[in-house]
Amino acid sequence: MAELRPVPAVAPLRTHIPGGVLLAMATVSLAEAAGIATHAALTASGWVLAFAPADLFLVLAHNLEW
């Protein structure tokens, strides 16, 4: 998500993907991961639900560089 930062003015990776598209892709991928975790909890073990919020936090913390 560093591409969405206002500084520097030029994208670090020099991509030309609009910020809205990057945000939509990140949102969809997190929603898909939540769906996979829910499916795994229903079919395999309820313990997956215990770790899903921690995993979500870690992904957001890494992507948003908290």
Give pLDDT tens digits for 39-63: 888 888 878 888 888 888 888 888 7
Rounded average pLDDT over 10-33 = 81
pLDDT score of 1 = 57
Q: Is the per-residue pLDDT at 11 higher than 80?
A: no
Average pLDDT for the chain: 79
| Whole-angstrom distance, CA of residue 35 vs CA of residue 38 | 5
